[in-house]
Structure 1
């Protein structure tokens, strides 16, 4: 009888302990990806707006205009997808992006700094999107990543060309 009671008590403790362990969100990777992608979109638009105000380089201003247009459109699609999927993205991913102080204070060095930042950012962004497009768990979010990759690769190619032109001068 004592063994039965002990077994029941231990079984209850095991069940209670299991119930108190927080269970993971079934797909935190999709929400995380969307959060990172949204922050990236907002940073791209913010940096491009600074470049548009300060740059004297036609290639840089053309690229910056493309960044505002493409990343604004991407952000709208991303927010619609997040809403449809029921993902509540954190405030940092929904519009509370601080402007890049280095760019704001760059003065006549804005063009090489902006180009350098865009090469780095787009290398990271392409890698992030390729990763989710390949191994992402949520098929809708994976499709979003796959659909965005051609434009992101184009951005990377364009900014690398601008970087090469500027370094050749």
Structure 2
């Protein structure tokens, strides 16, 4: 009878431990002593990494395909600034135990492939619209939201630090759109 009581006691302890909210309160990463950030913070970091990779890859295409010096200059700055931001983001991800994508999403890769098929003024306008304006409007909204709502202080600080640069890029893109005849 005592072995049955012992077996039942062990099973109850196991069930209590399994369903205990205190034990499951925060998901852990592979790194010891690192608590994984909130899901919304992780989603922001992953989207920011994909967006940065997209900007860099599309801007590399622009260096060889753009027909104006203004577009090539913009592309060079996008590469420089986004590589610096990506370096900071990768370091932050390592610190908080989040694995980030190293390349653009499949959808964004298709956009890059479409850009590669264009030449001259058509390329310039598509690059400025897709990468300069649309990409940076999305990025400004994403970084602003993370600046205000990130749960992790380091992630919030990264978003706040990067937001002015992304906002500046959007302003540059609007100016560039006028220069390439888009009437923005």
> TM-score over 0.5 for the alignment?
yes
Give deviations 1:115-163, integer Å, cap 9, x for gaps.
1102001000000000000011010000000000110010000001111
Aligned residue for 2:103, secondary structure, equals coil
User: Distance between the aligned counterparts of 2:145 and 2:129, measured in 1?
Assistant: 23
Give the structure 2 partner of residue 34 of structure 1: 45
1:104–1:23 Cα change, 3 Å = farther
TM-score by length of 1: 0.81
**Aligned pairs for 1:117-136 within 5 A:** 117=130, 118-136=132-150
Give the structure-2-normalised TM-score. 0.75
Contact 2:53/2:103 (CA < 8 Å) preserved in 1? yes
Q: CA RMSD in A?
A: 2.8
Output the CA distance in 1 between the equivalents of 2:166 and 2:75: 14
Structure 2 counterparts to residues 88-107 of structure 1, below 5 A: 88-89=99-100, 93-95=101-103, 98=109, 100-107=112-119
Gaps of 5+ in 1: 1-7
Q: Does the alignment pair 1:164 with 2:164? A: no
Q: Can you list the C-alpha shifts for 1:27-75, whole angstroms capped at 9, x where unaligned?
A: 1222111110000110000000011101111111110000000001111
- Cα separation, 2, equivalents of 1:15 and 1:125: 44
Worse overlay, 121-130 or 100-109: 100-109
2:74 counterpart of 1:59: no
Which structure shows the higher helix fraction? 1
Q: 5+ residue gaps in structure 2? A: 1-7, 28-35
Change in 2 beyond 3 A, CA 1:151/1:96: closer
How many residue pairs were aligned? 158
